[in-house]
């Protein structure tokens, strides 16, 4: 079964990155869902044509991601070098000397010799109990540079940094970040941060790409939902689903969306978006939903050093 193949982009360090990734963070999973579903989802995704998988040590599923990749390699569906694997450093490993050992542990769970992309998950540092620590992310970055120099990570980058933090990192780093992974969706369009990153030559991965469009406990979160007339009209026009239109909106803005699904049909649907394109005015129409409202708002960390988001 093959549903689609994402084009690749060239990162600022020369490596190639597929422009759509399977998300394996399970923030939307229900209590009864087993983590084993990740292994199956990764396998189905590779079978359907995905070549980029996004995980993190804090997701607790690197082992299952590694098993899914190993299964697909064993079945001859992919070779290791054809899969782009992204994982992330958690907040309690921000001391420079902790970075490489943390990555080695991730590699052990993934059963890989290297990852394609290693990201600092948040600019915030904590101890193992989650209490704040004042570690400068420039120090953490030196450990990331070591990881790249050792060949354990082909590319390095950051996640959840704001523009000032990215700018400072860019200015003072020996190796420039190749990627920034941040939340982008119709209610959080992030134009200033995306434009700034692109001007620096830093590729932008978009997490929680569906925002509140799909079923979450959305409460009083702003529209759009799946029945929104603007999205439904576009979906009908292109013979696609509303969720495909939302992913295409991100791709047409030059972003790399990371849709999460553990459902075979939905994950196949999510990569089947490379045979149509939205017109610039349709992208602008979806931009109008922006309310700067986040799915991941970092609540509880507002008083920590280097908190990256606006404090409400
Ligand atoms: P998403 O926006 O990807 O939404 C996931 C939800 O959408 C799930 O409930 C999924 O259910 C459902 N879904 C998926 N495809 C469809 C479809 N075609 N139609 C209808 N429903 C669909 O949210 P996430 O917050 O999970 O973000 C995606 C990924 O981004 C994460 O998995 C993680 O890898 C990354 N991430 C990174 C963060 C960071 O700090 N760097 C923070 C948050 C996420 P089902 O599985 O049943 O299909």
Tokens 């992919």 identify what position?
78
List of residues 6+ apart from 119 with CB closer than 8 A: 56, 86, 87, 88, 89, 156, 157, 158, 159, 179, 181
Compute CA 235 distance to the chain's CA centroid, rounded to the nearest angstrom: 24
Tokens 């394996």 identify what position?
24
What is the distance in A from the centroid of ligand 1 to the CA of 210? 7
Could you report the per-residue pLDDT of 212-257, keeping only the tens digit for each? 999 766 678 899 999 999 999 999 999 999 999 999 999 999 999 9
Could you report the per-residue pLDDT of 14-47, keeping only the tens digit for each? 999 999 999 999 877 777 778 899 999 999 999 9
Could you report the per-residue pLDDT of 80-108, keeping only the tens digit for each? 999 999 999 999 999 999 999 999 999 99
Question: Measured from the CB, is residue 28 less than 6 Å from ligand 1?
Answer: yes
Task: Please state the atom number of ligand 1 nearest to the C-alpha of residue 88.
Answer: 41
Query: What's 8-287's CATH class?
Result: alpha beta
Q: And the tokens for 43?
A: 């396998």
Assess contact for 121 and 91: CB atoms under 8 A.
yes
HSE of 151, CA atoms in CB hemisphere, 13 A = 2
For the chain, the domains span: 8-287
ipTM entry: 0.99
Assess whether 304 carries a catalytic annotation.
no
């Amino acid at each position: 079964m093959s549903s689609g193949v994402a084009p690749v982009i060239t990162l600022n360090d020369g490596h190639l990155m597929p422009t759509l990734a399977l998300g394996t963070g399970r923030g939307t999973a229900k209590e009864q869902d087993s983590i084993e579903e990740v292994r199956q989802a990764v396998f189905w995704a590779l079978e359907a044509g995905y070549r980029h998988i996004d995980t993190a040590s804090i997701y607790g599923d690197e082992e299952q991601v590694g098993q899914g990749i190993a299964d697909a390699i064993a079945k001859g569906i992919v070779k290791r070098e054809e899969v782009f694997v992204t994982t992330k450093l958690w907040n309690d490993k921000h001391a420079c000397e902790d970075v490489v050992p943390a990555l080695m542990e991730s590699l052990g769970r993934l059963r890989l010799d290297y990852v394609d992309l290693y990201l600092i998950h948040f600019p915030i540092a904590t101890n193992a109990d989650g209490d704040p620590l004042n570690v400068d992310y420039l120090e953490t970055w030196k450990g990331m540079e070591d990881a790249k120099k050792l060949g354990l990570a082909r590319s390095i980058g950051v996640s959840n940094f704001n523009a000032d933090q990215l700018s400072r990192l860019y200015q003072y780093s020996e190796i420039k970040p190749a990627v920034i992974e941040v939340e982008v969706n119709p209610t959080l369009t992030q134009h200033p941060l995306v434009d700034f990153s692109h001007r620096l030559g830093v590729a932008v991965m978009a997490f929680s790409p569906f925002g509140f469009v799909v079923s979450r406990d959305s409460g009083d979160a702003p529209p759009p939902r799946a029945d929104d007339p603007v999205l439904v009209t576009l979906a009908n026009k292109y013979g696609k689903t509303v969720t495909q239109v939302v992913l295409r909106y991100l791709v047409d803005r030059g972003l790399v969306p990371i849709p999460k699904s553990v459902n075979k049909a939905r994950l196949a649907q999510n990569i089947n978006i490379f045979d149509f394109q939205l017109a610039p005015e349709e992208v602008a129409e979806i931009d109008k939903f922006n309310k700067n409202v986040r799915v991941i708002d970092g609540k509880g960390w507002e008083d920590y050093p280097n908190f990256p988001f606006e404090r409400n």
